[in-house]
Structures are given as C-alpha cells and as structure tokens.
Amino acid sequence: MSVTVVVGAQWGDEGKAKVIDLLARENSVVARYQGGHNAGHTVVVGTEKYALQLIPSGVLYDHVTPVIGNGVVVDMPTLFAEIDRLESRGVSCAKLKISSQAQLIFPWHQSWDAISEGNLGDNKIGTTLKGIGPAYADKARRVGIRVGACVDLESFAEQVRERATAESVNVVHAGGDALDIEQIVSDFVEYAKRLQPYIGDTVGLLHDAVDAGQDVLLEGAQATFLDLDHGTYPFVTSSNPTAGGASVGSGIGPRLLDRIIGITKAYTTRVGSGPFPTETLGEIGEKLVDIGREFGTVTGRRRRTGWVDCVMLRHAGRINSLTELALTKLDVLDTFDEVKVCTGYRINGEPVHGYPDRSDVLGQVVADYITLPGWKTELRNCRSVNDLPAEAKAFITAVERESGIPIRIIGVGPERDDVLDWTPASIFGGTA
C-alpha cells in the first residue's frame, strides 16, 4: 500500500496529467483534492487527446476508481458535459465517486467572478471567471451548498432558491445582471437528480482502499506558487494545491503520505498576472510558446514563458516535502543552441537569500543563470538514460543539483509513453 501525491512545483501547466496517467497504471484509486473546472489536465493516447477539467486523470484506466474529493468545488454543468464527452469516446465514468462534502458552484458565483475582475481594471488577477474563488469564499463564509444536499431534492430546491434570491439582489446592486431564479432552481434540481448515483463518503472510500492495501494517488490542480497561502498572492488560486492541501482535501492524514512528486517543466510558464523572475520575452519566449504549444487548456490564453527556476523549485521542495521531481517537456528545448538554469536571485546587485515571501519583492529580483550548451537532437524516441545526449544529461543534472531534489521521471514528448526513468545511478553511468 502506498499513497502518492502529485503537485505542480511551478505556476501550473507542468504536465501533471501525463505523470498522473503514467502512475495510475499502478494505482487503484485516483482522487482530485482541490480546485474546480479551472484545471486543465491533458492526456495524449496515440492520436487521441483527452482534456480533463474535473474528472481525475486516472479515469482512462478501467481498473481505477476516480474520486472527486471534499476539497474540490464542483460545477455540475461542466461535470456532466465532461462525462458525456468521455463516454461518447468509450471512456466509462460509471465508477466515479464525488464527495458529499464537496462544494457546488452556481451561476451567482460566476457573476461575482466577472464583477470582481471588472472592478480591478488593470490590476485584475487573471481568473478563469468560472466562479471558483466565490465558491470557496462561500465555503469559508459557511453559506455554500454541498454536494450532499442533492440527495434530498425538495430541500435542495429550497436552498438554491433562497441563495439565488439573496445573491440576485446583491449582484444587481454591484452592477451585474439579475439572476433568473426559477430557471436556476429548475436546472439545478435536474442536475442534482443526475448527480445522486455518484455521491458518496469518499473519505471512507479512500481509507478503505488504504486499509485493503491498495495504492492511492492524490491529484492536485494548479500548483505550488498559485497556492492561496504560499503562492504569489494575490495572483493565486483560491485553494491549497500544495501537499498539505492533499490531506485536507482528501481526508487522508499526512502520516499516510508516502511519496510526494513535484512536477516541473524543463522551463517555466505562467498564465495571468503576477511576478515572474525568469520570464523571457522576444524571440526565445516566442519559441518556447510555439514549440511547447503554450496555450491554456481551459482558457486558451497564451502562457508567459521563461527559463527553469531552481530557486522556485527549492522552495517548492520545502513547502511540499517533495520526495522527487518529474521533469516534463524536455523535448521542447531540443532545437535551442543554449539553455539556461536559474540558480539564484539578486536585488540591486545583492544576493537574495531564499525565495522572497512577498510578491512585491519577488517582482524586483533579477535572476542569476548558468548557461549550458543545447543538445540539438530530437529526444522524442529516448527511452533510457543511455539514449540521452550528454548535453541533455548535463542540463538534468544541473536542475537536480540546483533544486536539491532528486529527479525520477523525464518527459521527452507529448504522448503517455514518451517518458524515461532518471535515477542517481544513471548519473554515474549506471542503468536507470
């Protein structure tokens, strides 16, 4: 029995779904523990591409029980659209279980998202406008409606009507459009009927799996530096994607977490506003966007790009107690004449100790780099360490050394099998 947590070690979009898909082969349960349909996890299987938002990546395996944990906020229209899409392509969602303690998203949450972003003007956060933040805010205010409320349709309808009525008045007062209350009630009662077979005690389910000796995988959305507490506040998500959030959002206590894998690209990307020490504009930045196809899975927005930042990775290692890293999208750097690794920060020429705990300070830092020769070789067909050119090995070794975290998995292409093992033995000429 083991419990593995997968977390993003940057600002998201690191390729978590691919790693989760790889690990799911050996796991019986895969559970989402936070976030909502603002996640965009893409898995490529042959010529087929699956873009997942709410449903855990392990759903592509028949032996996996996919779980949406208590820490997730659930948008029922998106959930059912996703289920329908998957099942139309032959992927069964019959085993899906959703925590009765998860919070629901409603149209007023999306209204508040749009109003809030509009009021911020040039200082907008860059939210996906999907109602995620307002839903978590309602959870904290103790006025949210949980998935478990869907079991009693009459009571559920009353709760929705009461909340929609109150929220419509407030939305209009804030400059938004009035809500169609009865339409919302009617629509969401129908959604609730459909949701009922999926509702369950997922904390009990997960612990039963652990007690039975099954392997469990906890899947995070977003990433460490979008964490509500530890990210580049206020340019963050509204939940805790870090390893600590995995325990809270699943109900599996921290003593049961065996393996905590941080996912990092061989470079860095970020969507939306906020400081970005290694951001690279101009030709290099455009090349990373074009080759890496750096556009949001959910939003379609262009991602900002830059070199890999080992100061970030060291901090992510501390916050999450990372046992290892998975380095993805190494192949995106195949054609570069040289590649860079950020090793430290400076402000006004003076070294900065560690990762700044304030976003305004982070916005002032200048990155220090080591520059390495590129490998100018296609890595797509590499399946072992011995297949990698020396220059690629040197880059991986540099990231491992500067981050202080052992690297285990290397991604060398978009498909699920475009991976190889990297172990300490391989650095010294051994076999992976």
Strand bridging mode 216-219 / 73-74: unpaired
Per-residue tokens: 330: 């190494």
DSSP state for residue 274 in the 8-state scheme: S
Distance CA 112, CA 168 (A): 10
- R_g of the chain computed on alpha carbons: 22
Distances in whole angstroms, Cα of residue 399 to Cα of each of 12, 268, 309? 18, 13, 9
Residues designated catalytic? 13, 41
With both helix axes pointing from N to C terminus, report the angle between 76-88 and 181-195 in degrees, rounded to the nearest 10. Answer: 50
**Three-state secondary structure call for residue 3:** strand
Non-local CB neighbours of 333 within 8 Å, separated by 6+ positions: 266, 267, 339, 374, 375, 395
Per-residue tokens: 222: 């977003």
CA proximity to 409, closest of 304, 325, 311, 343: 325
Q: Which residues lie across from 305 on neighbouring strands?
A: 269
Non-local CB neighbours of 277 within 8 Å, separated by 6+ positions: 306, 309, 311, 342, 345, 362, 365, 366, 367
